């Protein structure tokens, strides 16, 4: 948790942006793994609640009355039976005082607060809920059916939160740097452990343990797989085989819930084959190209498309693509190899503010998401600003089902050499990902220590460790 003044300042700014009405920010409740007394651990608070109210306890709601300039932390104190099992915790009143909130009330009071606001026909602002218990709570408080709550959420509040959370404060950047330290430990450990005969599951479990022991938790479920062509290939009991590539996409959250998100791909036996190196060098060049051109004022969509053109040119040199580069990219032919976006916003959520809708987080009135396959998975398209944190994660994947589908339909046949592509069906996939801070004049990596990603560095690291 940051100092009290941080949360006071943030709530004050939020009131100015929203201008009037009653703001209700719901914290999360415990989420059971399979039954109520077996909850997921550790508890994960809602990020927007954390941003404005800072407290990491379940069962809390923050209420900001903009018109009357009052703030209330709502929640029930822990009873003696819970104290027996989980230990003593601060009272809700104490929690409120710690973040500069003058008032606290038990949860039953929230219904009274909402009823009074409804009676007076005041605007009640809430964010789109993503957990079903909160949806039921909103139904009880405001009478809005869960299927209508996303469209009933306050656009004024959504846009205010996005405006404030998109550009990171210095103390947030420092927290992200701490997350990068944990992420470095995770990825270098995975590299050390990777060798023929070890299971994916073992390595995934080891690096998850690092996230848990140095921070709060992983920032998303760890991806570790020899099948890098599967975007979210979680670890299985498959045994690592010499000659295959292992893809590791993993990150950590600090105690204050700021994230890291990196991906590395490396040979199981520690030595790239010539064919692997040819594809890897293209992804490496695309990764570094984004770092060179990303800066304030440029649309991330344009960075993405520049990477797609570079990738197409390089794949043409290998004979996997053909034809005019501009026409190929316009047709979306590159999505055979890169079916996702170049990157996304990152912060307290690994896909920062995803619940607030990517149309508003990653796009704006100037640019809206594409409906073209591949480009439609670009989570960020808007112009970059100083203080944005984005991921740079190009990849090349050989997905057998996608190859078969496009080949059968003749889709983009004028740009893709399907005969040669057939010989890559057993290749897997490669992704390289780092987190970038947009600076005044350009961008820089987050994290002082670089996780090896140049081929010679990877081979040297794996041979020595």
Closest residue by Cα to residue 306 from 275, 278, 343 = 343
Rounded Cα–Cα distance for residues 368 and 370 (Å): 7
Judge whether 157 and 199 are in contact, CB under 8 Å.
Answer: no
Q: Do 193 and 316 fall within a single domain?
A: yes
Query: Domain check: are 347 and 384 in the same one?
Result: yes
Query: Which of the four pLDDT bands, split at 50, 70 and 90, describes residue 33?
Result: confident
Average pLDDT over residues 293-305: 98
Residue-wise pLDDT tens digits, 402-448: 999 999 999 999 999 999 999 999 999 999 999 999 999 999 999 99
Residue 189's alpha-carbon distances to 286, 357, 390, in angstroms, are 25, 35, 24
Question: Of 445, 230, 415, 209, nearest to 329 (Cα)?
Answer: 415
Q: Is the pLDDT of residue 172 over 90?
A: yes
- What contacts 5, CB < 8 A, 6 or more positions away? 100
Statement: residue 142 has pLDDT above 90: yes
Both tokens of residue 308?
A: 């797609």
Question: Which of 166, 196, 222 marks a domain boundary?
Answer: 166
DSSP class per residue in 229-262: TSTT----SPBP-TT-EEEEEE-EE-TT--B--E
- Confidence (pLDDT) at 83: 87
* Range 362-370 average pLDDT: 96
Residues 152 and 201 in one domain: no
Residue 183 has pLDDT above 90, yes or no: yes
- In the chain, count H helices and then E strands: 17, 15
- Which residue shows structure tokens 């498309």? 305
Q: What's residue 41's pLDDT? A: 84
Read off the pLDDT of each residue in 67-92 and give the average, rounded to a whole number: 92
Please name the residues in contact with 351: beta carbons below 8 A apart, sequence gap of 6 or more: 344, 345, 379
What is the reported pLDDT for 36?
Answer: 80
3-state secondary structure of 20: coil
Phi first, then psi, for residue 93 (nearest 5°) are -60, -45
Together in a domain, 156 and 261: no
186 and 130 inside one domain: no
Whole-number mean pLDDT of the chain?
A: 97
User: Do residues 239 and 332 both lie within one domain?
Assistant: yes
Spatial CB neighbours of 35, under 8 Å, sequence gap ≥ 6: none
pLDDT at 114: 98
Say which CATH number the domain at 405 has: 3.90.230.10
Choose one of 124, 150, 166: the last residue of a domain. 166
Q: Are residues 206 and 82 in the same domain?
A: no
Check whether 84 has a pLDDT greater than 90. Answer: no
Rounded distance between C-alpha atoms, residue 16 and residue 159, angstroms: 12
Q: CA 5 to CA 159: how far, in whole Å?
A: 23
pLDDT tens for each residue of 311-363: 999 999 999 999 999 999 999 999 999 999 999 999 999 999 999 999 999 99
Q: Can you give 370-414 as a three-state secondary structure string?
A: CCCCCHHHCCCCCECCCCCEEEECCEEECCHHHHHHHHHHCCCCC
Q: What are phi and psi of 211, to 5 degrees?
A: -60, -40
**Residue 143 · residue 126 · CB < 8 Å:** no
Do both 12 and 108 map to the same domain? yes
Dihedral of alpha carbons 409, 415, 421, 425, sign: negative
Output the domain CATH number for residue 97: 3.40.350.10
**What is the model's pLDDT at position 57?**
94
Q: Examine the domain organization and report whether 433 and 324 are in the same domain.
A: yes
Residues 237 and 317 in one domain: yes
Q: Range of 71's domain? A: 4-166
What confidence tier does 301 reach under pLDDT thresholds 50, 70, 90? very high
Q: What single DSSP character describes residue 264?
A: E
**pLDDT recorded at residue 40:** 82
Q: How far apart are the first and last CA of the chain?
A: 37
How many other C-beta atoms are found inside a 10 Å radius of the C-beta of residue 122?
A: 16
Closest alpha carbon to 383 in 398, 362, 401, 402: 362
Of 379, 372, 424, the residue nearest 398 (C-alpha): 424
Q: How far is CA 17 from CA 63, 129, 376, 409, in A?
A: 16, 21, 31, 51
203 and 151 both lie in a single domain: no
Res. 89: pLDDT tops 90: no
CA–CA distance, 110 with 126 (Å, rounded to integer) = 13
Beta bridge partners of 262: 250
How large a percentage of the chain has pLDDT more than 70?
100
Is the separation of the CB atoms in 459 and 185 below 8 Å? no
DSSP 29: P
Q: Give the model's confidence band at 462: pLDDT under 50 very low, under 70 low, under 90 confident, else very high.
A: very high
H helical segments located in 19-128? 47-53, 80-86, 92-98, 108-119
Domain final residue, candidates 135, 166, 197 = 166
| pLDDT for residue 87 | 87
C-beta of residue 362 within 8 angstroms of C-beta of residue 381: yes
3-state helix, strand, coil in the chain (%, to 5): 45, 15, 40
Residue 64 Rama label (left phi>0; alpha psi -120 to 50; beta):
beta
pLDDT at 32: 87
Q: Which of 23, 229, 253 is CA-nearest to residue 126?
A: 23
Residue in 373, 397, 380, 369 with CA at minimum distance from that of residue 436: 380
Q: What pLDDT score was predicted for residue 228?
A: 98
pLDDT over 90, % of the chain: 95
Say whether both 456 and 307 belong to one domain: yes
What is the helix (H) or strand (E) element at residue 63, kind and residue range? strand 60-65
Count of domains forming the chain: 2
């Amino acid at each position: 948790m940051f100092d009290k003044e941080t949360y006071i300042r943030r709530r004050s700014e939020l009131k100015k942006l929203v201008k009037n009405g009653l703001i209700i920010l719901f914290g999360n409740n415990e989420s059971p793994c399979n039954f109520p007394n077996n909850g997921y651990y550790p508890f994960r608070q809602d990020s927007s609640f954390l941003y404005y109210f800072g407290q990491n306890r379940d069962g809390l709601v923050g209420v900001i009355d903009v018109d009357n300039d009052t703030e209330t932390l709502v929640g029930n104190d822990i009873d003696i039976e819970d104290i027996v099992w989980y230990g003593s915790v601060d009272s809700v009143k104490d929690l409120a005082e710690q973040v500069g909130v003058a008032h606290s009330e038990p949860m039953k009071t929230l219904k009274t607060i909402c009823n009074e606001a409804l009676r007076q026909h005041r605007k009640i602002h809430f964010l789109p809920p993503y957990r079903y218990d909160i949806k039921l709570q909103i139904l009880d408080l405001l009478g809005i059916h869960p299927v209508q709550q996303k469209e009933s959420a306050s656009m004024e509040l959504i846009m205010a939160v996005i405006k404030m959370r998109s550009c990171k404060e210095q103390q947030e950047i420092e927290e992200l740097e701490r997350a990068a330290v944990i992420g470095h430990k995770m990825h270098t450990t995975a590299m050390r452990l990777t060798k023929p005969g070890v299971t994916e599951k073992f390595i995934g479990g080891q690096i998850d343990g690092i996230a848990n022991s140095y921070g709060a938790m992983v920032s998303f479920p760890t991806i570790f797989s020899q099948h890098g062509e599967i975007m979210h290939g979680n670890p299985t009991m498959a045994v690592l085989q010499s000659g295959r590539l292992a893809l590791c996409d993993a990150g950590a959250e600090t105690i204050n819930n700021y994230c890291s998100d990196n991906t590395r791909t490396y040979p199981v036996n520690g030595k790239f084959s010539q064919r692997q190196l040819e594809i890897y060098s293209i992804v490496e060049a695309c990764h570094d190209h984004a770092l060179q051109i990303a800066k304030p004022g440029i649309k991330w969509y344009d960075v993405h498309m520049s990477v797609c053109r570079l990738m197409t040119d390089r794949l043409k040199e290998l004979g996997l693509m053909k034809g005019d580069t501009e026409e190929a990219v316009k047709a979306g032919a590159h999505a055979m190899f890169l079916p996702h976006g170049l990157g996304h916003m990152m912060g307290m959520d690994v896909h920062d503010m995803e619940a607030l809708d990517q149309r508003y987080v990653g796009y704006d009135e100037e640019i809206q998401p594409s409906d073209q396959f591949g480009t439609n998975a670009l989570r960020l398209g808007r112009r970059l600003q100083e203080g944005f944190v984005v991921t740079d994660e190009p990849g090349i994947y050989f997905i057998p089902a996608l190859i078969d589908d496009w080949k059968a339909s003749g889709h983009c046949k004028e740009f893709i050499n399907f005969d040669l592509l057939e010989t890559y069906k057993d290749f897997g996939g490669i992704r390289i990902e780092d987190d970038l801070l947009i600076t005044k004049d350009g961008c820089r990596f987050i994290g002082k220590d670089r996780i090896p990603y140049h081929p010679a560095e990877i081979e040297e690291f794996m041979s020595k460790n």
